Amino acid sequence: MKLPIKILILLLWALSSCHSQTSQNDTMKFKELTLEEAQVILHKGTERPFMGEYTYTKTSGTYLCKQCDAPLYRSTDKFESHCGWPSFDDEIKGAVKRVPDADGRRTEIVCANCGGHLGHVFEGEGYTQKNIRHCVNSISMTFMSDQQSIEPTKDTAIFAGGCFWGMQHHFTKVKGVISSAVGYIGGTARNPTYEQVCSHTTGHVEALLVVFDPAQTNYETLAKLFFEIHDFTQTNGQGPDIGEQYLSEIFYVDAEQQKIVQNLMQILTEKGYKVATKLRPAEKFWKAEDYHQDYYEKKGSNPYCHIYKKIF
């Protein structure tokens, strides 16, 4: 039985998309794309103007790459350009790569992590003070609101060591850290607020989730830093911050991370330290309110209770 020519073309296109994605997956694992997503992300197509899911979105949060979940843009950099597609005048540092477009006139933008097509970037239009417009296809992105939970993966690390402001301050300086978020983990309450966590009724601790590039750093390096920036022998909190939300804990995402931490704890014990840090499997990580994110970077100061001390 002969297939209609239209269906045959779609089948060939799907096979081409799968092949293209498989060749990229030699070093990275990407999400499976629909035909429409593949047309834009893999084959550099363009979705129809004014039809995208995020064209008019104003919710506070972060826009991620649809194919690999790498953070791309913050909602604070989004503006209305009336061009028909989501527009941003800045990207998260190192998240977006610019390449000459095949048409020889425009500049294409792709995800720096996976190479997926996002759209095009334009300068000199005068829309904002930065005078830059990233014109991005909605279908190339997903959106994570500031109060959305995050499912940990093998390239994430979750540490709790007192006030999460100071933790984030130190980890964002590490080469290979792609992004970080402060939040809550370990308790029973869903989508907890800071006030609820402070009431000591949720069981959650203040924690930091770090997304890292395994080609530039590794989990052991990050775990060592964790022990070197807080008092892991304190049993009732961290410094003057007393209570269960400030306890020292590590949440591992797999057996490899668990083994690495156990080995480090053994080394510390042999050095004479009484390690109070708890080790637990990772659960859902609830991102904290926006005003908690990058606190010391916004304030322009250094943490009072997280000071680096070389141990390893």
- What CA–CA distances, in Å, run from 135 to 63, 95, 197? 13, 15, 39
Backbone angles phi, psi at 111, to 5 degrees: -65, 125
Which H helix or E strand runs over 257?
helix 255-270
- How far is CA 57 from its chain centroid? 20
Which H helix or E strand runs over 119?
strand 117-123
How would you classify the pairing of strands 117-123 and 107-111? Answer: antiparallel
Render the burial of 66-105: b for 16+ CB within 10 Å, e for the rest: bbbbbbbbbbebbeebeeebbbbbebbeebbeeeeeeeee
Alpha-carbon span 92 to 108, nearest angstrom: 17
- What CA–CA distances, in Å, run from 56 to 21, 85, 92? 30, 9, 20
The verdict on whether 114 is a catalytic residue reads no
Alpha-carbon span 281 to 221, nearest angstrom: 19
Of the residues 65, 111, 114, 135, only one is catalytic, namely 135
Tell me the catalytic residues: 135, 163
